[in-house]
Every structure is written in structure tokens, then in C-alpha cells.
């Protein structure tokens, strides 16, 4: 197979010095900090999930066993490993095991299917795939088999191992049978400036990009988040959203909680029916939700028999929380609200716990770091007058300078002087807080899941009954936005039906959250006077006409 493309994330030397001198980057690494916590806090509870309850000592021991097991399979430091696990304690023994072994996790979500997983495997040149035996009624050995078939056909030249977690591994390597073997483990911790893992982008144009994050930059982001969010040893942090998502991982997330020596409680579902009982049982103090869930919780909390009085801070982020929705959340849940506006590429903004209600209800917060640089610009890249909306560009001690293995995306998404073009339209208040107004790209923010219109269009266009398609976001009371596909059937073919098109897309192996919520058949797309129209204009016009007709 072709050589591995090096994993890197580089800031200019002067900034590296600056970030070190300012104490942001301290040379810490994932394995080093967890080892220290295990030594210092040994018997304290690190993670609770299902029937399992592991102390810090046990989590570290399991990570070391995992590390030895991966290396015993023939993986070598620097190899990338696509990890697809749900909200179970093994999520953390696997990823800390990979860190300990010098292997690089690539974080997939449980909802991803062969289309997405195949893409991550190819882009990262992954040597291995690790998945749960089953989660949310899906058998991930099916996916492992599809990957193996692609590997045999020469399409995944780097793939050498598939590992199943949770028993019944079948023909694959059995994670649960991994044995400790200290002799196999590296004697040194990784370089703190090296890439620790690849996170997945929200995918604004086309397929998801891979986001290389270093030990130094990521640990800074959650250590500083702990300060801002008041996470300490006595905190009990619940992971209700998918554990692999950047929000519950790092803002301050499970990683922040482990860093603080706190307890992480995993919920298999974010629904009030599941979470409320767990909150009561484990005395959960902090967690993050997306806006639709926060509204659902606020409503359910009014009539629950469960004791939610341990809750201290509810964070809401991933999509815009309107002022009215924020009011309802505050009224329904008797705890502090914190708005979080973040992105897997880096920059995270928080309202502060001692901010006035005015700010907490009306803004999406301000950046973590004094060295987060924020520009708000117009189409030409010129700064807009203070208080006016514009495109948000950012650069700083935990924002990436480039995606992995994607020159075209890098040319689009980063300025020559290293600013990341977030694609978000924001304005800044006189107090320096950001208010998210919209976005530049055609993507759909469906309850915090970002879906590229282009990616869904590409799938539907592959159907022989489809002549043309435009995918747009439609405001949705519950989801925030839903996916609507306008489809022109192909003349001469049997006219497709909505449910059949959706089923067809599912069978292609696409994450269920990308399947259109609504399909509208049209005879033609109206074109402008010029006769040609950009997809962007077309989508905008279709959305507008559709909403007017409602």
C-alpha cells in the first residue's frame, strides 16, 4: 500500500513559543495524565455505565491491557484506528488504550454506516476498525464484514484488523480476550505536540473531514473548560449525547471530567425516561445537551417523580438556542444554564456561570482563551463594523490549522494567515459575546447533527429514478431544522415514492440521521432569467417558496 500520509498539526514557531509561555500548552499527554490520576486517586470512581463501575485504577489497568492487545495484533505506533463505540465504559478503555500504545483513534459515531466508515478508513488510511458487537439494535460485525470485503477487493489497502468489543467476536479479534503484557508497551509517552486523534467534522460541504488534534492543544481546551465550568473532583458529569462527539468529549466533557478526577456517567440514551433515573441514582451535577433535548427535558422535569436536585449546570449547544427556548429551559430545570458554541475544529465559547441572565439567555458565549483570535468579516474578508453580523474566522491555541489529507478543503476553509473559516455568521456584543445568526454553508443542523446538503444530494442522484434533486433545511419545531429533498423524477422511469427512496438510501449504508425527513416531488426547478442558477440560490429559492406555501 502507498505510504502513510504523516499526521501533523503545525502552528508557526512564534505562536508555539507564545502558547507554551502563556501556560496553555504544558507538555501533558493523554496517557500521562490518566496514569497520574490512577496513581493519585486509585479507588475513586472514574466511569459508570450499564452494570459497570470502574475506579481510576481499573480504567488505567484496562487501558494498559487494551494497549497491549492492540500491539499484540501487529498494529504499530502511528497506525490509525477507526473507533465506533457507543456510550459504554469500554469507549474510554479503548481510546486510552490506543493513546497508551501510540495508536491514533479516528472517532466515528454509532449511527455511521459503510458509506461514512469506508470514507474515514480511506482518508485516514486506517489499519484497524474497532466496534461494539451490538449497540442500538445494530450488529457492527456486519460493518466489519463489509470492510473486510472492501479490503479483499483492494479498496482498503491499509486495513489489517477488525476488533469487536463486548463478546461474540466471531471471525474478528476479540477485545474482551485481550491480555495484559507490559513488555509490549512503549516505554515513553507520546510527543505532546503530536496528533493524538482524528475528530470528524460536521461536513458542511460534501463528506466529513478529518480533524487532527494534538495532546497539547486538546488538553488545554478541556483543562481551561474545567475552570470555566467549575468541574472538579466532586463533579459527576453525564455523557448523554454520543460519547464520540466533540461536545460531550471535551467541553469539558468526559475528558475534562477525567482530567479533574471527577466521575463520568454514561447514559445509553439522552431521553428523560433513561437519564432522569440515572441522574437521581448517581447524583449527576453537570451535562451537555442539544437544544431540542433541553426543551424536552425542561418539559419532562415539571412532572417527574425523580429527584434532579443534584444538577448544577445544564449546558446547551451544538445548535442555536433561541432566547425563548433558553427561558423555557431555565424555567423547567432548576439549575444554571450555560450556552456552549463550539466546533470540533477548535474554538469553543461559553457563557460564564456568573454572567447576568441577560447574557446567558441572549448569547452563545465568549471564547475560552484570551489568545483565541476572532474576526468577523464580510464577503470580501473585510472586518464588519462592531455589532454587525459577519462571517466568523478564528485562530488560536486549540484551533486547527488544517484538515488531514484534504488540500482542497484546506484551501477553502483556511485563510493564508491560518484563520479557520467557521462558516458561521455571528455578531459580537459590546461585552465581547457572540450571537450566532446563521451560516454561510448549505448544511442542515438537525438537532445538532450537521448534514451536508451536497452529500445527501449526491446519494439521491445515484438513484436511477431521480433526475435532479436539491436538499434544503426547513425550520422544524422539534429538531430546529429538518432535511427536505426536492426531487425531479426521471422521465420514462417508474415514478419513485418517498418511503421507497428513503429505504433505498438506508440500504446504501448511510447514517440514518442523513435520510431526508421529507421528500417533495416537483416537475422542474425554476431557473433564473439567465437560465442558470447556482445550487445555493436554487436551494434558497426552494426553501423560500416552500415556507411561503405553508
Which residues sit at the interface with ligand J2J, rule CB under 6 A? 202, 246-247, 250-251, 317-320, 339-344, 348, 364, 422, 424, 436, 439, 448, 450
| C-beta neighbour count of 183 within 10 angstroms | 7
By beta-carbon proximity to ligand J2J, the closer residue of 246 and 452 is 246
By beta-carbon proximity to ligand J2J, the closer residue of 124 and 161 is 124
By beta-carbon proximity to ligand J2J, the closer residue of 261 and 448 is 448
By beta-carbon proximity to ligand J2J, the closer residue of 235 and 394 is 394
Q: Are 321 and 289 in contact (CB under 8 A)?
A: no
Residues 6+ apart with CB under 8 A from 362: 323, 326, 435
Q: Which of 392, 384, 47 is nearest to 238 (CA)?
A: 47
C-alpha span between 376 and 419 (Å, rounded) = 11
Q: Provide the minimum distance between the beta carbon of 115 and ligand J2J in the complex, in angstroms, as a whole number.
A: 19
By beta-carbon proximity to ligand J2J, the closer residue of 45 and 226 is 226
Q: Provide the minimum distance between the beta carbon of 343 and ligand J2J in the complex, in angstroms, as a whole number.
A: 4
Q: Provide the minimum distance between the beta carbon of 222 and ligand J2J in the complex, in angstroms, as a whole number.
A: 9
DSSP letter for each residue of 14-74: HHHHHHHHTTS--S--HHHHHHHHHHHHTTSEEEEETTEEEEHHHHHHHHHHHHHHHHHTT
Q: Provide the minimum distance between the beta carbon of 535 and ligand J2J in the complex, in angstroms, as a whole number.
A: 19
By beta-carbon proximity to ligand J2J, the closer residue of 38 and 510 is 510
Q: Provide the minimum distance between the beta carbon of 258 and ligand J2J in the complex, in angstroms, as a whole number.
A: 16
Q: Which three cell numbers stand for residue 138?
A: 445494530
Q: Provide the minimum distance between the beta carbon of 441 and ligand J2J in the complex, in angstroms, as a whole number.
A: 9
By beta-carbon proximity to ligand J2J, the closer residue of 189 and 449 is 449
Residues 6+ apart with CB under 8 A from 186: 77, 100, 101, 102
The CA–CA distances, whole Å, from 33 to 44, 99, 260, 407 equal 15, 11, 10, 34
Q: Are 355 and 379 in contact (CB under 8 A)?
A: no
By beta-carbon proximity to ligand J2J, the closer residue of 112 and 133 is 112
- Using the structure block, give the residue that is written with the C-alpha cell 435532479: 468
Q: Provide the minimum distance between the beta carbon of 171 and ligand J2J in the complex, in angstroms, as a whole number.
A: 34
C-alpha span between 187 and 32 (Å, rounded) = 12
- Using the structure block, give the residue that is written with the C-alpha cell 496528533: 195
Q: b/e map of 485-502 (b: 16 or more CB within 10 Å)?
A: bbbebeeeeeebeeeebb
Output DSSP code: residue 170. Answer: T
Q: Provide the minimum distance between the beta carbon of 421 and ligand J2J in the complex, in angstroms, as a whole number.
A: 10
Rounded to the nearest 5 degrees, what angle is found at the Cα of 516, between the Cα atoms of 514 and 519?
165
CA dihedral 285, 436, 249, 477 (to 10 degrees): 70
By beta-carbon proximity to ligand J2J, the closer residue of 159 and 319 is 319
Q: Provide the minimum distance between the beta carbon of 214 and ligand J2J in the complex, in angstroms, as a whole number.
A: 16
Q: Which residue is nearest to ligand J2J (CB)?
A: 342
Q: Provide the minimum distance between the beta carbon of 427 and ligand J2J in the complex, in angstroms, as a whole number.
A: 13
Strand order in the sheet with 366-367: 52-55, 45-49, 263-266, 236-239, 286-289, 313-317, 336-343, 346-350, 366-367
By beta-carbon proximity to ligand J2J, the closer residue of 270 and 342 is 342
Q: Are 336 and 314 in contact (CB under 8 A)?
A: yes
C-alpha span between 156 and 145 (Å, rounded) = 13
DSSP letter for each residue of 250-307: HSSHHHHHHHHT-EEEE-S--SHHHHHHHHHHHT--EEEE-HHHHHHHHHHHTT--S-
By beta-carbon proximity to ligand J2J, the closer residue of 62 and 395 is 395
By beta-carbon proximity to ligand J2J, the closer residue of 140 and 222 is 222
Q: Provide the minimum distance between the beta carbon of 347 and ligand J2J in the complex, in angstroms, as a whole number.
A: 8
By beta-carbon proximity to ligand J2J, the closer residue of 250 and 399 is 250
Output DSSP code: residue 401. Answer: S
With left for phi above 0 and alpha for psi between -120 and 50, is residue 487 left, alpha or beta? beta
Q: Provide the minimum distance between the beta carbon of 381 and ligand J2J in the complex, in angstroms, as a whole number.
A: 18
Q: Provide the minimum distance between the beta carbon of 339 and ligand J2J in the complex, in angstroms, as a whole number.
A: 6
Amino acid at each position: 500500500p502507498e505510504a502513510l500520509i504523516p499526521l501533523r498539526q503545525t502552528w508557526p514557531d512564534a505562536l508555539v513559543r507564545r502558547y507554551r509561555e502563556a501556560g496553555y500548552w504544558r507538555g501533558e499527554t493523554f496517557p500521562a495524565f490518566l496514569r497520574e490520576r490512577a496513581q493519585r486517586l486509585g479507588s475513586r470512581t472514574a466511569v459508570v455505565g450499564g452494570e459497570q463501575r470502574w475506579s481510576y485504577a481499573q480504567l488505567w489497568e484496562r487501558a494498559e491491557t487494551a494497549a497491549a492487545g492492540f500491539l499484540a495484533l501487529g498494529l504499530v505506533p502511528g497506525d490509525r484506528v477507526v473507533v465506533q463505540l457507543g456510550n459504554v465504559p469500554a469507549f474510554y478503555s479503548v481510546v486510552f488504550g490506543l493513546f497508551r500504545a501510540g495508536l491514533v483513534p479516528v472517532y466515528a459515531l454509532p449511527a455511521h454506516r459503510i458509506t461514512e466508515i469506508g470514507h474515514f478508513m480511506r482518508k485516514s488510511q486506517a489499519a484497524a476498525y474497532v466496534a461494539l458487537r451490538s449497540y442500538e439494535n445494530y450488529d457492527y460485525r456486519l460493518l466489519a464484514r463489509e470492510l473486510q470485503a472492501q479490503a479483499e477487493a483492494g479498496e482498503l489497502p491499509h486495513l489489517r484488523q477488525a476488533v469487536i468489543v463486548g463478546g461474540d467476536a466471531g471471525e474478528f479479534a476479540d477485545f474482551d480476550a485481550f491480555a495484559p503484557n507490559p513488555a509490549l508497551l512503549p516505554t515513553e509517552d507520546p510527543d505532546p505536540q503530536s496528533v493524538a486523534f482524528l475528530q470528524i467534522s460536521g461536513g458542511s460541504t460534501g463528506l466529513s473531514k478529518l480533524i487532527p488534534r494534538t495532546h497539547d492543544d486538546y488538553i488545554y481546551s478541556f483543562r481551561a473548560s474545567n475552570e470555566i465550568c467549575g468541574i472538579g473532583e466532586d463533579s459527576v458529569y453525564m455523557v448523554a449525547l454520543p460519547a464520540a462527539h466533540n461536545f460531550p468529549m471535551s467541553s469539558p466533557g468526559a475528558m475534562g471530567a477525567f482530567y479533574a478526577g471527577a466521575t463520568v456517567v454514561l447514559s445509553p440514551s439522552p431521553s428523560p425516561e433513561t437519564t432522569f433515573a440515572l441522574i437521581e441514582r448517581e447524583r449527576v451535577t453537570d451535562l451537555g445537551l442539544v437544544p431540542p433535548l433541553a426543551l424536552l427535558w425542561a418539559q419532562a422535569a415539571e412532572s417527574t417523580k425523580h429527584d434532579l436536585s443534584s444538577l448544577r449546570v445544564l449546558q446547551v449547544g451544538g445548535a442555536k438556542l433561541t432566547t425563548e427556548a433558553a427561558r423555557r429551559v431555565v424555567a423547567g430545570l432548576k439549575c444554571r444554564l450555560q450556552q456552549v458554541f463550539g466546533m470540533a475544529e477548535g474554538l469553543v465559547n461559553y457563557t460564564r456561570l456568573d454572567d447576568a441572565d441577560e447574557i446567558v439567555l441572549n448569547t452563545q458565549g465568549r471564547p475560552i482563551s484570551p489568545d483565541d483570535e476572532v474576526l468577523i468579516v464580510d464577503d470580501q474578508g473585510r472586518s464588519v463594523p462592531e455589532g454587525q453580523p459577519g462571517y466568523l474566522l478564528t485562530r488560536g491555541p486549540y484551533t486547527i490549522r488544517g484538515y488531514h489529507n484534504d488540500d482542497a478543503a484546506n484551501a477553502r476553509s483556511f485563510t493564508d494567515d491560518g484563520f479557520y473559516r467557521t462558516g458561521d455568521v455571528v455578531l459580537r456584543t459590546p461585552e465581547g459575546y457572540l450571537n450566532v445568526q446563521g451560516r454561510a454553508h448549505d448544511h442542515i443542523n438537525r438537532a445538532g447533527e450537521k448534514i451536508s446538503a451536497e452529500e445527501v444530494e449526491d446519494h439521491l442522484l445515484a438513484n436511477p429514478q431521480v433526475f435532479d434533486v436539491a436538499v434544503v433545511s426547513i425550520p422544524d419545531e422539534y429538531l430546529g431544522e429538518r432535511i427536505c429533498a426536492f426531487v425531479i423524477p426521471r422521465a420514462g422511469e417508474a415514478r419513485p415514492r418517498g418511503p421507497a427512496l428513503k429505504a433505498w438510501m438506508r440500504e446504501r449504508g448511510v447514517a440514518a440521521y442523513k435520510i431526508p425527513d421529507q421528500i417533495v416531488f416537483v416537475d422542474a426547478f425554476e431557473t433564473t432569467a439567465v437560465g442558470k442558477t447556482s445550487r445555493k440560490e436554487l436551494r434558497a429559492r426552494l426553501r423560500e417558496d416552500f415556507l411561503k406555501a405553508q
